[in-house]
Amino acid sequence: MRAHVRVGLTLALFGTAALGSWACPTPSEEEPPEPILTITASPKMLPGDGRSTDISVAAAEADGALGVGNVTLTTTRGNLGEEGVTETILELSNGRTSIKYWCNATSDTSCFGAQRITAKWKNLTAVVTVTFSQLAGPDASASDDGGTTGMDAGSSGADAGTADGGTTDDGGSTDANTSAFALSITTGRSSLYSQVGASTEVTARLTSRDAGVAAQIVTVSVDLGELFVGTDGGTPPVGAPSLDLETDQTGRVRAQFRETGAPGQATISASHASGASASTKVDILKVATITYQGMTCGGSPCTMLGINGSGWNEKSDIFFRVLDNAGKPAAGVPVTFTFSNPDVPEGTTIAPTGVTDVQGNVKTSASSGPIIGVFTVKATAVPPPTPVEAVSTPIGVRGAKPSNYNMTFTCYGPNDRVNVPAYSSPTPPLSIQNKCTVKLLDRYNNPVGTGAQVYFKTEAGGIPNSITTQAFNPTTDNKDEGVGVVVFSTNGTWPPRNVEPLPANPNQWPIPLEAEPNLTISGNQVVNPRDGLVTIIAYTSGEEYLNDANQNGTADPGETFIDQEKPFVDADDNGTFDSWEVSPGTWAPANGSWDRDTTIWTETHILYTGDVVDDPRYSHLLPNPFPTASLSEPQTVDVYFADRNLNRPESGCTWNWSYNSIYVDLFSITLLQDGYGFGLDHIRVDSADERECVIGTTQVCKWKTIFSTWGRGKVNQVRIIGDSDNTPPIAASISIGIRSPTAGIWHWASTTGNVRP
């Protein structure tokens, strides 16, 4: 009986569409599937008078796929397919192959008794025994159990009450009769599940002296469920409890047995007018639960998909598990899959159906579209009105590959500044921590939700080596998806590099470059605003931006891409890598080709400033003197307070003023806002002429940092207004004072002129 159970389960693995692969974790007591090889003989016992038996071989891979390749059959005596052949090689087709075998004892008396036929496939071996006797006919009750290798299909927990794949040719009992006819009956599966529309094939065979009898009526009937034959345009016809069927040339009749919703045990019987009969049983079990098990991408656990074209997790397998009312895996259960949310990302698809494997596992395959969003999958094992179904956790379709088109890196915000008073200390640098924010977007401007690693290098101060950006989270609003925060500190490398002043470049696009102001101090030291400028870079793995107009995934003529050299810290701000500058890895120039997988990067700047210098070259009001101010013609005076490098001080300074005439009104005194105090932009330009980059027209673009105008410490403007337009002008003197919040020292500058009282 043990062998019968093993073969019954094994044949089910080959005879049903439930050959799913096992991918999600299962309880430790359940063993994963193994490769399987089976060999069977029908019949197993026959006279040794030259009659033949059918040898059938079936094979399957460990993941449930139908076996492929060749099977080698050997025997010590007898004939495999042709007279005198004791070893042959057969090719598997749909996981199966077969051959005739006979051993004629009239010419070789050693044929009497048991003969072994061995099948070998890959590293598996299976054996079946055929017995040749001097009886007058075949053993009608002999079983077709054959041999099997691989998973112990008859082990506890796998053979009782589960859809294990069905019975073999001995699966039905044969009633004794004295006629020359015999009947056998088999089913493709030994169990089905109710309320899921499950069915299995029923085969009955009428024989006489081991030969099939054609053109005879065999009645097949059931006491639970129904029978039907064929399909009507793909739809099974109405079933019946009994069918009269005519045997074919092999003596066989075939029908489909279908459950009709009620659990129990169905007896399927076959009978013939001669009195020959046979029966078998099929258990109809109840599906109890289905649960979501998880998702894998490329065989590894994952929680989201990358949008189509990202090259990252564009496909996934989504797993559910079905159990019966005994808590055992429900094999062979058809499951339907649908989206359970209305706003499914456009273009995202799932496979609509699946069938549970021997572990009760079933999967659907999902493919992402080009639009981000979130979806959930509903798996239905039993349809309404009493459904058995489950819904997956929310699954994101997100941006996955960062692009260098719109990767941003900034160090300013409500509580953070680009202008920090690092020089405002007797022993600089003054210790200041500043938050900087990096944001990763893909080429379609979607936030990158993978939780990417971003790395940093700085010219001065200190910054962590790396951070991880915010990954997609199905339980939040994801407003910070793709965003990472890193803390920059002035503690570390000091001071920033002293650089040469930039000369004027009137041809710079789109804003001409003014000559950078500078002063010579402390002998021959030349200072300029960029001496306080700190360059910081952020870099990560991604792709160069491509305007892929035809969506073929390659850069074609006329499609813009942004070429980029390997990252480096441009400490002297000249836009060119110098051998002494810091570069992670080996620096290389832009290669003129679109790179799908590369290191992308961007830069930002923090300005180190100090307290105002009490020197007319740094602190002054202009013009001095100012033109006559009247009621209708007020005059504007620019206010300059600069630090040691000709940069304006930090934001939040306090102002004060005084004047010697009651006829002067001052306007536009405001608190100083954060900023560099000079023109600094990071722009895209045509890599050929450094003019405008037009996406869709320019072939190759690049990033460029440009400087333009210089503030020279300008912090504000004031308006001077007289009281009339006709009175004679009188002399006036105006003084403006400033005090930074860090230094706390007042600094003053003055100008003179005339006003009309």
> Given the structure tokens 């429900």, which residue do they identify?
330
Residue of higher predicted confidence among 179 and 43: 43
Distance, in Å, from the CA atom of 407 to the CA atom of 344, rounded to the nearest integer, reads 27
Average pLDDT for 624-641: 94
At 658 the pLDDT is 87
At 662 the pLDDT is 61
User: What CATH number has the domain bearing residue 143?
Assistant: 2.60.40.10
Shared domain for 504 and 546, answered yes or no, is: yes
Shared domain for 597 and 658, answered yes or no, is: no
Average pLDDT for 367-385: 95
Under the banding of pLDDT at 50, 70 and 90, the label for residue 198 is confident
Shared domain for 61 and 177, answered yes or no, is: no
Does residue 745 carry a pLDDT above 50? yes
At 360 the pLDDT is 96
> Given the structure tokens 């004060």, which residue do they identify?
656
Average pLDDT for 377-395: 95
Distance, in Å, from the CA atom of 460 to the CA atom of 596, rounded to the nearest integer, reads 32
Q: How many domains does the chain have?
A: 4
At 64 the pLDDT is 72
Shared domain for 370 and 415, answered yes or no, is: no
| 103 part of a folded domain | yes
Give the CA count within 13 Å in the CB-facing half-sphere of 427: 1
Parallel/antiparallel/unpaired status of strands 124-133 and 45-47: parallel
Give the CA count within 13 Å in the CB-facing half-sphere of 301: 4
| Max mean pLDDT range (235-239, 308-312, 359-363) | 359-363
What does the pLDDT look like over 513-536, one tens digit per residue?
999 999 998 888 999 999 999 999
Does residue 163 carry a pLDDT above 60? no
Under the banding of pLDDT at 50, 70 and 90, the label for residue 480 is very high
Shared domain for 480 and 542, answered yes or no, is: yes
What does the pLDDT look like over 30-88, one tens digit per residue?
455 678 898 999 888 888 888 999 999 988 888 778 889 999 999 999 999 998 899 99
| 5 part of a folded domain | no
Does residue 3 carry a pLDDT above 60? no
At 106 the pLDDT is 80
At 134 the pLDDT is 63
| Max mean pLDDT range (196-200, 322-326, 478-482, 730-734) | 478-482
Average pLDDT for 279-287: 94
Under the banding of pLDDT at 50, 70 and 90, the label for residue 467 is very high
Shared domain for 572 and 670, answered yes or no, is: no
Does residue 347 carry a pLDDT above 70? yes
| 262 part of a folded domain | yes
Shared domain for 407 and 545, answered yes or no, is: yes
At 666 the pLDDT is 66
| 652 part of a folded domain | yes
* Closest CA relative to residue 652, chosen from 431, 424, 427, 462: 424
Distance, in Å, from the CA atom of 745 to the CA atom of 641, rounded to the nearest integer, reads 13
Average pLDDT for 392-411: 96
What does the pLDDT look like over 13-26, one tens digit per residue?
333 333 333 344 44
User: What CATH number has the domain bearing residue 659?
Assistant: 2.60.40.3450
At 146 the pLDDT is 47
| 107 part of a folded domain | yes
What does the pLDDT look like over 573-610, one tens digit per residue?
999 999 999 999 999 999 999 999 999 999 999 999 99
Q: What percent of the chain has pLDDT over 70?
A: 87
Tokens coding 508: 């710079």
Does residue 137 carry a pLDDT above 70? no
Burial class of 449 by CB neighbour count within 10 A (0 to 12, 13 to 18, 19+):
buried
Whole domain around residue 751: which residue ranges? Answer: 619-677+713-755
Tokens coding 371: 């639009």
Shared domain for 76 and 130, answered yes or no, is: yes
At 332 the pLDDT is 87
Q: Among 150, 180, 201, give the residue marking a domain's end.
A: 150
Average pLDDT for 563-572: 98
Does residue 205 carry a pLDDT above 90? yes
The pTM of this model reads 0.69
Q: First vs last Cα of the chain: how many Å apart?
A: 122
Does residue 271 carry a pLDDT above 70? yes
| 391 part of a folded domain | no
Asked, as a colleague might, if the bond just before 517 is cis with ω within 30 of 0, I would say no
Average pLDDT for 647-655: 91
Under the banding of pLDDT at 50, 70 and 90, the label for residue 132 is confident
> Given the structure tokens 């994801």, which residue do they identify?
478
Shared domain for 491 and 586, answered yes or no, is: yes
Under the banding of pLDDT at 50, 70 and 90, the label for residue 114 is confident
Does residue 141 carry a pLDDT above 70? no
| 692 part of a folded domain | no
At 142 the pLDDT is 39
Does residue 124 carry a pLDDT above 60? yes
At 177 the pLDDT is 46
Query: Which residues are bridge partners to 502 per DSSP?
Result: none
At 671 the pLDDT is 62
Shared domain for 189 and 212, answered yes or no, is: yes
Q: How far is CA 122 from CA 71, 127, 145, 595, in A?
A: 8, 15, 22, 43
| 571 part of a folded domain | yes
Shared domain for 432 and 486, answered yes or no, is: yes
Under the banding of pLDDT at 50, 70 and 90, the label for residue 147 is very low
Distance, in Å, from the CA atom of 286 to the CA atom of 162, rounded to the nearest integer, reads 10
At 131 the pLDDT is 85
What does the pLDDT look like over 440-463, one tens digit per residue?
999 999 999 999 999 999 999 999
Does residue 569 carry a pLDDT above 60? yes
Mean pLDDT of the chain: 87
Under the banding of pLDDT at 50, 70 and 90, the label for residue 661 is confident
Residue of higher predicted confidence among 417 and 135: 417
Q: Among 570, 585, 608, give the residue marking a domain's end.
A: 608
Q: Among 576, 608, 640, give the residue marking a domain's end.
A: 608
Shared domain for 195 and 265, answered yes or no, is: yes
